[in-house]
């Protein structure tokens, strides 16, 4: 009886051991995925930390590079030439941000770390996409600020002087050309005034361009783009023309010279041709006109046409004593069909345009407020630029003062005009604009400066002719 119980106990003990082994195996299998997941999690965490460290290191490198560029610019300005940063816009076709930038140099180019990048015959491509057998210089990190600084060898001639810094923005790549201010002006002056003009006129233009640039540098208007100016008409045109010997001489002979009023650089506005008078900055609805910007009679008889009838008489005749009487844009006229203008006002729901009236003019005669009458209502346009934009003469022949015809105007040539409707019965079928001048009309007339130079005036006399209460100073004292 006892032996049977012993056997039973041994059997139960064996079964218990087997059950324990079975439970242990099951538990191990159940625990294995958790341990694997934990290991993977640890690996991911380590990789994440490494990636985060890489990003932080890259951001620190970019921040250090940016700071070094700023310090370098401060030191250079304090010890020598003033530097300027120009945002390149690809001629305005693609705006400020580019998806891809290709740089080709006739000098070896180096990155911000000093490493060799490309020989003169190679192309450097800065892009977020693959672009063939080229050198990629944009960092992989999407959050990086500065991509690369490219500088040609100083002893080599380059198409664009100075250095390039390429920044990443949310919209794309920003390309900034950094160079000496005086070198910058060598490419601005011939882009803004024909190099065939009289030397003193070119010198006056150089001083205006330098003054404008210095004012922009101090105002930091373009700081969000890491720049001081852009290369288009939004600032002043840069590198539209190659440097010319005549304009190079004008820049060199006025080195550092700027126009100041009260110790500050003025807004040295300039434009192509006057209608016989210049305007003040009131054409842009400024709260208070600048003391150095007055309406000036550009040669000829001094007139103050205070009524629409008097202005119509002024703008439709040629004053033989005016400095610019022989210039093409001194007087002009263009006819625009009524239905073309009606289409431009379609979103205003005023119906077919029946009349156009100038309600307010500047001291120089530029339209500041224009009322557009329609069959179903009316609208008003404020400001010389908006008026010229709405009344654009693009694709419509403009008869110029010298007998030539232009069909390439994006804007109306100027805001100095009167308008005469041409009707069939009571319906206006077109509007003819009789006007004078080319440009906004504020500050220095470039053709007026040319004629003053032809009369033997110096660049200082030309500047004081168009700007009042001014002094000629040195830009280096500002920085």
Q: What is the pLDDT of residues 56-114, one digit of tens each?
A: 554 455 455 555 555 555 544 455 789 999 998 864 455 788 776 666 555 555 555 44
**In terms of C-beta density within 10 A (0-12 exposed, 13-18 middle, 19 or more buried), how is residue 421 classed?**
middle
pLDDT recorded at residue 380: 97
DSSP 3-state of 392: coil
pLDDT at site 253: 97
| 226 domain residue, yes or no | no
Q: What is the pLDDT of residues 164-181, one digit of tens each?
A: 777 777 777 788 888 999
- Which pLDDT value is given to residue 413? 97
Say if residue 15's pLDDT is above 80: no
pLDDT of 171 reads: 79
Cβ contacts of 453 within 8 Å, gap of 6 or more = 197, 198, 199, 200, 201, 204, 459, 462
DSSP assigned state of 171: S
For residue 93, being part of any structural domain is answered with no
pLDDT at 123: 53
Average pLDDT of the segment spanning 221-242 = 90
Which of the residue ranges 68-72, 231-235, 465-469 has the most confident prediction, judged by mean pLDDT?
465-469
Listed residues 134, 168, 202: the one ending a domain: 168
* Res 141 pLDDT > 60: no
Domain end marker among 168, 184, 207: 168
**Domain boundaries, position 125:** 98-168
Are 381 and 366 a contacting pair, CB within 8 Å?
Answer: no
What would the pLDDT profile of 284-322 be if each residue is shown by its tens digit? 888 888 999 999 999 877 777 778 999 999 999 999 999
Q: What is the mean pLDDT of residues 429-444?
A: 97
State the average pLDDT over residues 335-341. 96
What's the confidence (pLDDT) of residue 261? Answer: 95
C-beta separation of 462 from 451 below 8 A: no
Domains in the chain, number: 2
Final residue before a domain boundary, out of 123, 149, 168: 168
- Report residue 338 as tokens: 């009524």
Percent of the chain at pLDDT above 90?
54
Q: What confidence tier does 40 reach under pLDDT thresholds 50, 70, 90?
A: very low
Could you tell me which residue, 456 or 40, shows the higher pLDDT? 456
* Closest by CA position to 320, among listed 272, 277, 276, 363: 276
Q: What is the pLDDT of residue 477?
A: 83
Q: Give a yes or no: residue 186 inside a domain.
A: no
Position 35 in a domain: no
**Is the pLDDT assigned to residue 53 strictly greater than 70?**
no
Say if residues 279 and 271 touch (Cβ distance below 8 Å).
no
Place of tokens 């403009």: 398
| pLDDT for the residue 137 | 46
For the chain, give the percent of residues with pLDDT over 70. 70
Q: What is the mean pLDDT of the chain?
A: 80
Indicate the pLDDT class of residue 139, thresholds 50, 70 and 90: very low
Q: Is residue 77 part of a domain?
A: no
Nearest alpha-carbon partner for 273 in 435, 154, 76, 433: 435
Beta strands in 145-275 (DSSP E): 146-151, 163-168, 173-180, 229-230, 257-261, 264-265, 270-271
What pTM value is reported for the model?
0.77
Q: What's the pLDDT score for residue 37?
A: 43
Please check the confidence at residue 133 and state whether its pLDDT lies above 50.
no
Asked if the model's pLDDT at residue 375 lies above 90, the reply is yes
pLDDT tens digits along 261-292 = 999 999 999 999 999 999 999 888 888 889 99
297 located within any domain: no
Mean pLDDT along residues 198-206: 98
Q: What pLDDT is stored for residue 84 in this prediction?
A: 95
Whether 447 maps to a domain, the answer reads no
pLDDT of residue 70: 52
Mean pLDDT of the 17-39 span: 55
Residue 28 inside a domain? The answer is no
Q: Are strands 83-87 and 229-230 parallel, antiparallel or unpaired?
A: parallel
Give strand pairing partners of 356. 372
50/135 Cα distance (integer angstroms): 26
């Amino acid at each position: 009886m006892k032996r049977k119980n012993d056997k039973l106990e041994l059997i139960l003990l064996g079964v218990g051991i087997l059950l324990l082994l079975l439970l242990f195996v099951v538990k191990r299998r159940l625990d294995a995925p958790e341990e694997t997941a934990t290991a993977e999690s640890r690996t991911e965490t380590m990789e994440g930390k490494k990636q985060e460290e890489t990003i932080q290191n890259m951001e620190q490198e970019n921040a250090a590079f940016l700071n070094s560029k700023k310090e370098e610019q401060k030191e250079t300005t304090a010890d020598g030439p003033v530097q300027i940063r120009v945002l390149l816009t690809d001629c305005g076709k693609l705006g400020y941000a580019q998806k891809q930038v290709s740089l080709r140099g006739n000098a070896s180019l180096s990155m911000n770390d000093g490493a060799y990048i490309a020989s003169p015959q190679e192309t450097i491509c800065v892009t977020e996409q693959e672009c063939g057998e080229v050198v990629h210089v944009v960092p992989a990190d999407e959050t990086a600020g500065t991509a690369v600084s490219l500088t040609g060898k100083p002893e080599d001639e380059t198409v664009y002087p100075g250095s390039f810094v390429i920044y990443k923005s949310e919209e794309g790549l920003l390309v900034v050309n950094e160079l000496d201010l005086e070198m910058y002006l060598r490419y601005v002056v011939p882009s803004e005034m024909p190099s065939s003009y009289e030397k003193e006129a070119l010198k006056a233009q150089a001083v205006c361009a330098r003054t404008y640039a210095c004012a922009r540098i101090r105002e930091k208007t373009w700081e969000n783009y890491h720049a001081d100016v852009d290369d288009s008409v939004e600032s002043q045109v840069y590198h539209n023309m190659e440097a010319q010997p005549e304009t190079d001489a004008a820049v060199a002979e006025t080195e550092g010279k700027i126009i100041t009023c009260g110790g500050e650089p003025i807004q040295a506005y300039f434009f192509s041709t006057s209608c016989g008078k210049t305007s003040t900055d009131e054409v842009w609805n400024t709260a208070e006109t600048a003391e150095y910007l007055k309406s000036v009679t550009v040669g000829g008889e001094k007139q103050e046409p205070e009524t629409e009838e008097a202005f119509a008489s002024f703008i439709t005749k040629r004053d033989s004593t005016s400095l610019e009487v022989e210039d093409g844009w001194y007087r002009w006229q263009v006819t625009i069909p009524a239905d073309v203008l009606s289409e431009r006002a379609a979103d205003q729901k005023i119906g077919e345009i029946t009349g156009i009236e100038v309600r307010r003019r500047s001291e120089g005669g530029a339209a500041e407020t224009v009322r557009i009458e329609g069959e179903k209502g009316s609208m008003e346009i404020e400001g010389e630029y908006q008026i010229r934009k709405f009344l654009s003469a693009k694709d419509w022949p403009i008869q110029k003062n010298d007998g030539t015809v232009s069909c390439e105007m994006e804007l109306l040539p100027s805001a100095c005009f009167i308008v005469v409707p041409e009707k069939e019965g009571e319906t206006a079928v077109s509007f003819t604009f009789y006007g004078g001048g080319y440009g906004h009309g504020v500050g220095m007339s470039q053709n007026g400066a040319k004629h003053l130079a032809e009369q033997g005036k110096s660049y200082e006399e030309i500047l004081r002719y168009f700007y009042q209460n001014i002094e000629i100073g040195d830009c280096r004292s500002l920085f």
